[in-house]
């Protein structure tokens, strides 16, 4: 299966063409609203190798919520729980279960980012707020994207502290080592029936993103189900948000299952990059993280065929990859290795992808069929196919 490039003249030119009224330097943090932040933090430390980083709660003067911040290389996760029944955080968890509330983006000018996006039609979540402590100041402002998900603009050029004003360093005696997770490669959103193009246009008009890859239901389908996906990227290519919508099939697609259980649109998966997927996935498995089952033997037998030229540069042993159920795909520029966890909370909603890029810039289109068949086996087990 081939990925369809919407523009033929190459990514660099696309990125030049993207409107840069909203320069984004990277992902600043991802905030989850969860039922029990203390226990979720322990899970991400123990199983995913995150380190304790910052904390805010009753001890720092907050009355209504608590947040634990975790770090691994460039990735910062914030886990937040309400401390009373009246909080909108609690309402969010009641409706959606544990999930991603805020995808924060690192910007040079949060006020301008907010003004430019609201001017272009974004719905406001939070007007610019200046937060200060002895280390300086941070400006934050937020807009809604799909569902109840928020993009927060974070301007920290005048801040020397670790995370944000209001947080204190979180010291812990329990510090599991990193498992090699480096940065967020992409984050995928699931939106409702017929809404993909609405959100593609929203990212184009409001955020100045470009649509550089598309997959339709003729490309992404199995015997039973189908979906459509378009990949949106910002001007420098650092932020990539694929957007999925369900398509008609014989049975219920994984996107419909997500929408039913999340009760709306939201973040489907977070893809995290590693330089050594064999080590990272081996460690995740040893710590109890469950992954989708391996594609059949025929899939691995066909790898040399599919990789062609790129086989020469491949350092990993196919047998080792197969043992861990890691999938392999290639495009013109190289290959990539990837694997998907099962959902990491009780509802079949958010999951993680671990990805190692060896030159390839795609999203593993050649793996979609095997991947979705594996997800369907899980759905069948849950009675939701
Ligand atoms: Fe992905």
The CATH code of the domain that includes 294 is: 3.10.180.10
Tell whether 324 and 236 lie within a shared domain: yes
Question: From ligand 1's centre to the CA of 254, what distance in Å?
Answer: 14
Question: Tens digits of per-residue pLDDT, 130-161?
Answer: 999 999 999 999 999 999 999 999 999 999 99
Question: Is 2 inside any structural domain?
Answer: no
Instruction: State residue 8's pLDDT score.
Output: 45
- Domain check: are 185 and 331 in the same one? yes
For residue 65, give the 3-state DSSP assignment: strand
Q: How close is the Cα of 165 to the center of ligand 1, in Å?
A: 33
The tokens describing 90, both together, are: 């609690």
- Coil vs helix vs strand at 201: helix
Predicted local confidence at residue 6, as pLDDT? 53
CA of 374 to the centre of ligand 1 (A): 15
Task: Write out pLDDT tens, residues 321-348.
Answer: 999 999 999 988 999 999 999 999 999 9
- Give percent above pLDDT 90 in the chain: 76
Q: Which residue has the tokens 């109890």?
A: 288
Residues 125 and 199 in one domain: no
Determine the structural domain holding residue 221 and report its residue range. Answer: 11-16+180-382
**89 in Cβ contact with 82 (< 8 Å):** yes
pLDDT confidence tier of residue 9, bands split at 50, 70 and 90 = very low
Among 149, 169, 189, which residue terminates a domain?
A: 169
Candidate from 3-12, 49-58, 254-263 with smallest mean pLDDT: 3-12
Residue after which a domain boundary falls, among 143, 169, 195: 169
Verify that 246 and 364 share a domain, yes or no: yes
Ligand 1 centre to CA of 162 (Å) is 29
Supply the angle between the helices 368-382 and 254-262 in degrees, to the nearest 10: 50
Same domain, 127 and 256: no
Other residues' Cβ atoms within 10 Å of the Cβ of residue 348: 20
Question: Per the structure block, which two tokens stand in for 120?
Answer: 């272009």
Report yes or no on 108 lying in a domain. Answer: yes
Q: Tell how far the Cα of 25 is from the centroid of ligand 1, in angstroms.
A: 21
Alpha helices by DSSP H, listed for 217-296, are: 254-262, 277-286
CA–CA separation, 308 and 157 (whole Å): 46
374 versus 352: the higher-pLDDT residue is: 352
The answer on 93 and 195 residing in a single domain is: no
**One domain for residues 223 and 328:** yes
CA of 129 to the centre of ligand 1 (A): 33
Are residues 98 and 186 both part of a single domain?
no
Residue tagged 């941070």 (tokens): 138
Name residue, tokens 């805020």: 102
Q: Is residue 174 part of a domain?
A: no
- On whether both 29 and 150 belong to a single domain, the answer is yes
Ligand 1 centroid to 186 CA: how many Å?
7
């Amino acid at each position: 299966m081939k990925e369809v490039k919407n523009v033929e003249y190459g990514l660099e030119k696309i990125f030049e063409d993207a409107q840069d009224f909203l320069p984004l330097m990277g992902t600043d943090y991802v905030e989850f609203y969860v039922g029990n932040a203390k226990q979720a933090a322990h899970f991400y430390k123990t199983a995913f190798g995150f380190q304790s980083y910052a904390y805010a709660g009753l001890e720092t003067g907050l009355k209504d919520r608590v947040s634990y911040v975790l770090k691994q290389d460039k990735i910062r996760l914030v886990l937040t729980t309400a401390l009373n029944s009246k909080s909108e955080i609690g309402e969010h968890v009641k409706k959606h279960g544990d999930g991603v509330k805020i995808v924060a983006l690192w910007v040079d000018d949060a006020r301008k980012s907010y003004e430019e996006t609201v001017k272009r039609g974004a719905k406001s979540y939070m007007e610019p707020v200046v937060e200060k402590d002895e280390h300086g100041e941070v400006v934050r402002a937020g807009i809604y994207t799909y569902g109840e998900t928020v993009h927060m603009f974070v301007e920290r050029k005048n801040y020397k502290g670790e995370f944000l004003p209001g947080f204190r360093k979180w010291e812990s005696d329990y510090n599991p080592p990193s498992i090699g997770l480096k940065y967020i490669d992409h984050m995928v959103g699931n939106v409702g029936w017929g809404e993909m193009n609405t959100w593609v246009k929203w990212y184009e008009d409001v955020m100045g993103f470009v649509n550089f890859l598309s997959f339709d239901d003729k490309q992404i389908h199995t015997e039973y189900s189908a979906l459509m996906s378009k990949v949106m990227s910002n001007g420098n290519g650092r932020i990539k948000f694929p957007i999925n919508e369900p398509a008609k099939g014989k049975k219920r697609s994984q996107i419909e299952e997500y929408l039913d259980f999340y009760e709306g649109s939201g973040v489907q998966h977070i893809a995290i990059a590693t330089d050594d997927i064999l080590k990272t996935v081996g460690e995740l498995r040893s710590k109890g993280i469950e992954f989708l089952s391996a594609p059949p033997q025929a899939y691995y037998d066909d790898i040399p065929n599919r990789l062609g030229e790129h086989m020469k540069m491949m350092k990993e042993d196919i047998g080792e990859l197969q043992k861990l159920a890691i999938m392999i795909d290639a495009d013109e520029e190289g290959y990539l290795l990837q694997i998907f966890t099962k959902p990491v909370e009780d509802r079949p909603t958010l999951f993680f992808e671990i990805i190692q890029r060896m030159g390839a810039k795609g999203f593993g289109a050649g793996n979609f069929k095997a991947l979705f068949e594996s997800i369907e086996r899980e759905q069948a087990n849950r009675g939701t196919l």
